[in-house]
Amino acid sequence: MEFRARYVLIGLFTLAVIVSVFGFVYWLNNMAGFGPRAVYQVRFTVPVSGLSVGSDVFFNGIHVGEVTDLTFEPEEPSQLSATISIDKNTPVRSDTKAGIDYQGLTGISNILLIGGSPTAPAVVPRSGKLPLLIAEPSATRSLSQNAGRVLSRFEDILGRNSDRFDTILSGLERMTGGSTSETDIPVYDLMPPQTFPKRDKAPSWQLVVAEPTVTLALNTDKIQQRPREGESLALPNARWSDNLPNLFQAKIIQSFENAGYIKAVLRPADAPDPDYRLLIDIRGFYLTTREKPTAAIDFVAKIIDRDGKTIAARPFRDTIPAAAANVPGAVAALGKVFSSSITELVAWTAAVL
């Protein structure tokens, strides 16, 4: 009986080993990347860095394979071809985009495949060669190239905002007791229009006036002038009472209130789910000094509902001659052109709603 029991244990152990081997083979074929594979060639027309045999391949962020070979094109040595082996079920189409995905600051590179239309044809072999995907040049910049572009952008922003940093430093100097030679700069305000047609009945809608969007050059409290087309300069020794987006938002809300819509028009923080939103995109607000001094305003207004659908949109452009190309003349003319345009804005919005 003792020998028979020993044979039974040996048989059970052998059976367990066989089952484990079959299970391991099944896992390799179905879960560890050794299942049915598809092989493609990805061609890079610009230099890449950090890519090597064994680099991962991702499709829409999901790991689907790896790089198995890297070769240079004999006819065009500046071009690099990477052979990739990926899961056969990966939906690679003729419009699938290929590029490089850099991992952090280490420079380790992976190949990234992105999307593709489900109606686009599949990528097929070419005369006995592997199916080919051409990587987009803009998606294959090296890490140093991307860093250079970021630094260049940062330097450009610093250059265009140097006057703001000077103002901040001057303020810090005054706070710490330092002296400054800068004289007090007069502050000017925009006056909202006061006179509007009488309303027949109270509005049944609720409107939020969002903070207007502007270009970087207009996101300032400086009063702008244009001596030449495409050139903007700040009038010296003068500024608005707030940055232009905040100033426009506040005065537009006050204009609606002056028109009798005090309960219907709010700021975004006061009405999280309003019926409508008024969006303003400021394109220009400046004094032209090329020939005759002229105040100009240019903005686009859009009204959207709570589902995000635009129900109305209209540009507002106007000019008014200025008495002189100096601070008093600019402030007076810009105030008039602002008041007339906002009067039209309030009337147009009320008519739409």
Lowest mean pLDDT of 6-20, 154-168, 251-265, name the range: 154-168
CA pair distance 205, 188, nearest whole angstrom: 34
Let me know: does 317 contact 279? Beta carbons within 8 Å. no
- Other Cβ atoms less than 10 A from the Cβ of 92: the count is 21
SS3 of 199, please?
coil
Strand partners, 298: 284, 317
Would you state the structure tokens that stand for residue 228, as one six-digit string? 């030449």
Whether 171 shows a pLDDT value over 90: the answer reads: no
pLDDT tens for 277-295 read 999 999 999 998 888 899 9
Cα–Cα nearest to 98, from 34, 157, 55: 55
Q: What angle do CA 124, 129, 133 make, to 5 degrees?
A: 55
Please, what's the largest Cα pairwise distance for the chain? 120
Whether 3 shows a pLDDT value over 90: the answer reads: no
CA pair distance 226, 334, nearest whole angstrom: 13
pLDDT tens for 138-161 read 655 544 444 444 444 555 555 555
Structure pTM?
A: 0.50
Radius of gyration of the chain (CA): 33
Question: What is residue 173's predicted lDDT score, i.e. its pLDDT?
Answer: 57
CA pair distance 143, 100, nearest whole angstrom: 10
